[in-house]
Structure formats: structure tokens, C-alpha cells
Amino acid sequence: MNFARRMLPAFCVAVLFTSLIGLSSLPCSAQLAPSQPAPASTAAPAQPASTQAYSLPPDKLAKAITLSHIRTALDIAGSLWGLAVLWILLATRWAADLAAWAERLLRRRWMQGLLFFAVFLVITTLAGLPLDAIGHAVSRHYGISVQGWGSWTGDLAKSLGLSLLFGAPVLLLFNWLVRVSPRRYWLWIWLVSLPLILISVLASPLLEPIFNKFEPLIKTHPALVARLETVVARTGTKIAPDRMFLMKASEKSNGLNAYVTGIGATKRFVMWDTATDRLPDDEVLFIFGHESGHYVLNHIPKELAGMAAGLFFVFWGSAAFAGWLARRFGARWQLSGPDGIAPLASRQGFLVLLFALSAASLILQPAGNSFSRHFEHEADVYGQEAIHGLVADPQKTAMGAFNHLGEAWLEDPNPSPFIEFWEYSHPSVQTRANFALHYDPWANGGHGRFFDK
């Protein structure tokens, strides 16, 4: 649901941009749509005998089920295709040819490397284009995206520009590390990636205006900001009004979303204008409470720490796997080249490492998602507790928000548990709505997990 959420081709870009665009913002797919606010059981007899906390009218249900199958297929195809492209580049020796071409063309080694990795990034982007386009066409067909093809192509070009600007030099740097330390390079790459990830999280809010328009939320929604301030007061967060932004998402999407992003001096709360325009203020308050939970519970630093720890083993394991691949296929793929350089240290040899890293990130996807779902659930609990006393009925409000969210994104009310485990960065909307419906710690004079009352 975010732009560039699938920038899989090159893992370096993944390291940089996963954190930049994926991890750094914790998108909160809890949308609230314009239709009926799906009230609690007694008030909502319109839905025939549904005992589910999240339900869709029949026409939308059929669409949501088809769409969830398409999304899953595209996701799997995208991951496998990313691996296949790397394998094809190596097995056809196109990668070796490209490295040789760059060497003939330019004299300085670092410029040869920059050219090689820049062309590589262009190739992987072009290779991913068909699947990206199908994804966009599907999203438009189901009325979720309203972004024209011209604008979509423009975004793609901007993403590629960022990849070339930041990704190519980082790949070159990592490649150089393999060259100077053929045995311990994975450790140096890990060490160097830590500050890079931190920088990318810091810089992410500054790069987002390249893709979307932002303005201070207070400019157009002063009354809403005043209500959000009541949540700020209750949570004790220091989200000043000048850190609250409205994103003009409606130019591109019918989806509903909000997220927190940045760290330290750049951290901020962003609400999509689709959500402020179509959701009751109470539900916006809940979403804000959820996002505040990400702040208060330090989810971004925790995710970064988890990622840093995970990457240590990922780089170590990938280096071992890449070493095996190089021994097995090195000669056939012409990894060493004419200058007798170590197989993995050549330009084309570095793609072997990228292949190993991409395979690792595919295998570890469920682990990452499990962590993410845990944090999202915590934020849901926090959000519901945060609006207690500020809205008439926190349970109903949260459930309404989830129903609106699910309807706007056409979320399948009953996804397969395996798909949810493997692919969902958030618990399913059904799981979240169900929890919201039954979560009432104040019932017998009790209190919640995060607030005294």
C-alpha cells in the first residue's frame, strides 16, 4: 500500500529502501471508509446474521476474495522473479559481459563499478516492470488506485532515480568491502549498513515529498487537531501540532492510511486525506492513538534493533551460501574475470551475494512479519486504551475504523492463516476488528495495559 513497497530487485536497495520506505514508516492499514460505520451487533441488523466483527457486503466480498488471491500470486511471483532475474544475469554471463564492457569503457575502477551497478539497477527495474504494471492495473480495476499511468510512470522513474543516486554507490561500497576483506567482508558490510539504515530512516520523511504532497494537518483541520491534542494529553507523547501532517493521498488512492515515520528530529505523524475526509473524527482519533502507540512503545527503534541483530546473521549466512554458489558455478558464470580477482569480489560476483541475500530475505519474510504483527497488535491495544474517555465507545469506534479500513482496501475477511502468517505485516482486519470488539478492560472497574484508567 505504500509506494515502492516492493523494491525487491537488488538487496542493497532492499537494505536501504526497505528501511527507508518500508520499516521506517509503520503503515497502519486501519482504514475507515465512507459507507456505513459497521456498528456493534445490536445496532447493525443490516448485515444478515454475520457474527464476524469485520464483514463486507456480498459484491465487495467477492471482489475482496479475488483480489486477495491476485495479491498473493503477484507477491510470490515478484519474489521468485527477482531471484530468477539475478540467476539469469549470472547464468547467461550477461553480468560478466556487462562488467567487461564497463571496464573497456571507463578507466577508473570506481567509475566502472558505478556504471555496472547503475546499469544493473536499470535492468532489474525494467525486469520488474511487467509485474508492477499488472499490480497497478489490478489496483485501478478494483477502484483502489486512482492514479493515472502517466503519474504512475513518473513515480517509477523517481524511484529509479533514487536507486541510482543512493543504491549504486552503496552497492559499490559493499563490493569494495568484499574486495579488501574477502573473508570478513560480511561483518564489515553489516557494520556499515547500520549507520546507513539509521540515515535512511532519518531521511525518509524528507524524501517522501518527492512522491506525495504534504501540508500541516492544522492548516485544513484545526478542529481535528484540537481533538487529537486531547489524545496527546492523555498519552503524554510529545507530538506537537507541527509534527502532524496531511498527505494528499486522494490524488492517487481510495485507500485509507496513516503512519508514523522518521526518527529524532524528523519523526512525525502522517494522516492520509482520504482518512480525514471519509472517517468520523472518533475513528481518526483511534488511528492517531494507534500511531501514538508506535511512538510511546518505541516501535521504530525496536524494529531497527531487531533488524540490526537479524542482519548480522543474514549477512553471515548469505556470505556462506554465496561462497558455495561461487565454488559451484564460479567458472561457468565467469565470476573471476581476466584479472584473477576472487570470484565474489568481482562486479558480477557481487550479484551472487545479492542473490543469496534476496533468497534469505524471502525465507525470513514470515519472521519479519511476525515481529511486525506483534508491534501492530500492541499499537491496536494502545490505541483503544488511548481513546478511552475521549470517545463515547472505544470498542465500537475501533471496530468501525477497522471495517472502514477493510472495505477501502478490499481486505479479505477470512484470509488463509498460512497467507496471513507468511505475508501480512499487520494482523488481518478480521483479527483486529475481533479483538477491538471484545477488548474492554474497564468493564469491571479495571484498567488497560498502558493506562491507569
Contacts of 315 (CB under 8 A, 6+ apart): 186, 187, 189, 190, 193, 357
Q: Total residues at the site for Zn ion (CB under 5 A)?
A: 4
Neighbours of 100 (CB within 10 A): 18
Taking the least distance from each CB to Zn ion, the nearer of 282 and 376 is 376
Q: Which residue is nearest to Zn ion (CB)?
A: 28
Using only C-alpha atoms, what is the Rg of the chain? Answer: 23
Interacting span for Zn ion (CB under 5 A) from 84-92, 113-121, 338-346, 370-378: 370-378
- Is residue 379 close enough to count as binding Zn ion by CB under 5 A? yes
- Supply 52's cell numbers: 464476524
Taking the least distance from each CB to Zn ion, the nearer of 81 and 269 is 269
Q: Are 297 and 379 in contact (CB under 8 A)?
A: yes
Taking the least distance from each CB to Zn ion, the nearer of 26 and 231 is 26
Minimum gap (Å) between residue 257 Cβ and Zn ion: 10
Minimum gap (Å) between residue 2 Cβ and Zn ion: 12
As a whole number of angstroms, the distance between CA 252 and CA 139 comes to 11
Taking the least distance from each CB to Zn ion, the nearer of 185 and 409 is 409
Binding mask 160-189 for Zn ion (x = CB under 5 A): ------------------------------
Taking the least distance from each CB to Zn ion, the nearer of 237 and 318 is 237
- Is residue 429 close enough to count as binding Zn ion by CB under 5 A? no
Taking the least distance from each CB to Zn ion, the nearer of 273 and 376 is 376
Taking the least distance from each CB to Zn ion, the nearer of 103 and 208 is 208
- Is residue 386 close enough to count as binding Zn ion by CB under 5 A? no
Q: Are 95 and 89 in contact (CB under 8 A)?
A: yes
As a whole number of angstroms, the distance between CA 324 and CA 301 comes to 34
Binding mask 22-41 for Zn ion (x = CB under 5 A): ----x-x-------------
Minimum gap (Å) between residue 416 Cβ and Zn ion: 22
Interacting span for Zn ion (CB under 5 A) from 65-73, 337-345, 369-377, 427-435: 369-377
Interacting span for Zn ion (CB under 5 A) from 167-175, 237-245, 276-284, 373-381: 373-381
Taking the least distance from each CB to Zn ion, the nearer of 28 and 170 is 28
Interacting span for Zn ion (CB under 5 A) from 114-122, 196-204, 348-356, 368-376: 368-376
As a whole number of angstroms, the distance between CA 167 and CA 303 comes to 22
**Residues forming the site for Zn ion (CB under 5 A):** 26, 28, 376, 379
